[in-house]
Amino acid sequence: MAGIDEVAKAAGVSTATVSRALSGRGHVSPRTRERVLAVAAALGYVVSASASSLASGRARNIGVLVPHVDRWFFSTVLGGIADELARAGFDLTLYSVSDDPDQRLRVFETFLRRQRVDGVIAVSIALGRAETERLVGLGLPLVAVGGAQEGMTSLAVDDVAVGRAAAEHLLALGHRDIAHIGARPENDRDFRIPSQRRRGIEDAMTDAGASLSPARFAPADFTIDGGHRAAGRLLSGTPSTAIIAASDEMAIGAVLAARELGRRVPEDVSVIGVDGHEMGAFFRLTTIDQFPSGQGRRAASVMLALLDGVGPPTPAPLPFSLVVRATTAPPPR
């Protein structure tokens, strides 16, 4: 395998320039960077992680805390983080943080204190005071995605506004008898995002002279199956002309349940979800897209900026957008 000296000689630059070009750190002209990358690829040169760490004082590795690794939203955010870090030459170490107190203690007391990471990104996890103090005590850049977290640079979507946007879309179509599939108590932790979305729905309906009655609310677990069962209960009870689901997967379950009950979507009942799930396009689902992959890329870019000594960004909600497809329409006459 070629060494850095060979790459520098073949590219006609110094070894320091090769190091800057391959790491993405420091000033190198675009033309020089392209030449170095092409020569390195032709010679099969790969940067040594251990050598890079010794030279820079960094592990070139970011710790990422997630509550679930098998849920679409979290895996999509994680993918955005990984893509952005990879472009900058960083690895990531994934830490699954469950509700188990012993497991959480191991993460914060042992794993993160091994000093193998340059910073920590927490995805939709509300940390306790002791956990936050342990993280801050590491002296590393910290970024939280999903809600405001003390001691960390925080990035979040305004979930009250998300719920309001979903409701206002249906209200503008003429719906007033609107049902909602929200979260079970055990799924409404960590910044209480589902409750915030419900609050936005209720605020919009109140402003329009309507209300979300308890009979038109059903809790579920953010899965297609959970949404299917919740929608079945709603559609068999107090009549509703539309359903707002707190996630796209539950909305897809609602569409399937409506069809099984002989209810046409959207002619008999409209359905809207939240997320921007990739399956939404297949089901032609109207949704509030919160760009989860973009959330991950944003979190990683903020982390890289903090590592470069750039101050935290001016606080601003992460973007979301209404995507109107074929599951919403005016209510039946």
Q: What is the pLDDT of residues 132-157, one digit of tens each?
A: 988 888 889 999 999 888 889 999 99
Please check whether residues 193 and 281 belong to one and the same domain. Answer: yes
101 and 40 in a common domain: no
Considering the domain architecture, whether residues 142 and 106 belong to the same structural domain is answered as yes
- Claim to verify: residue 197 and residue 285 sit in the same structural domain: yes
98 in the same domain as 138: yes
Domain range spanning residue 235?
159-289
CA 7, CA 5: separation in Å to the nearest integer? Answer: 5
If you search the block for the tokens 């850049």, which residue do you land on? 141
Digit-coded pLDDT (tens) for 163-203: 999 999 999 999 999 999 999 887 777 778 999 999 999 99
**In this structure, is residue 328 part of a structural domain?**
no
Question: Nearest-CA neighbor of 307 among 105, 112, 63?
Answer: 63
- Alpha helix locations (H) across the chain? 4-11, 15-23, 30-43, 49-56, 72-87, 101-106, 129-136, 159-173, 193-207, 224-235, 248-260, 278-282, 292-307
Query: Is 54 a domain residue?
Result: no
The sign of the torsion formed by the CA atoms of 194, 84, 96, 57 equals: negative
Residues facing 214 on adjacent strands = none
Number of domains forming the structure of the chain: 3
Q: What is the arithmetic mean of pLDDT over 83-87? A: 94
Whether residues 262 and 152 share a domain: the answer is: no
Residue 31 included in any domain: yes
- Residue 52: inside a domain, yes or no? no
Same structural domain, 114 and 72: yes
Q: Are 285 and 302 members of one domain?
A: no
318 within some domain? no
Q: CA nearest 302: which of 87, 138, 149, 143?
A: 143
Same domain, 167 and 285: yes
In the chain, pLDDT over 70 holds for what percent of residues? 94
3-state secondary structure 55-78: HHCCCCEEEEEECCCCCHHHHHHH
Residues 27 and 104 in one domain: no
Give the β-pairing of 321-323 and 286-289.
Answer: antiparallel
Question: Is the model's pTM score more than 0.75?
Answer: yes
How many residues are recorded in the chain?
333
Distance CA 42, CA 38 (A): 6
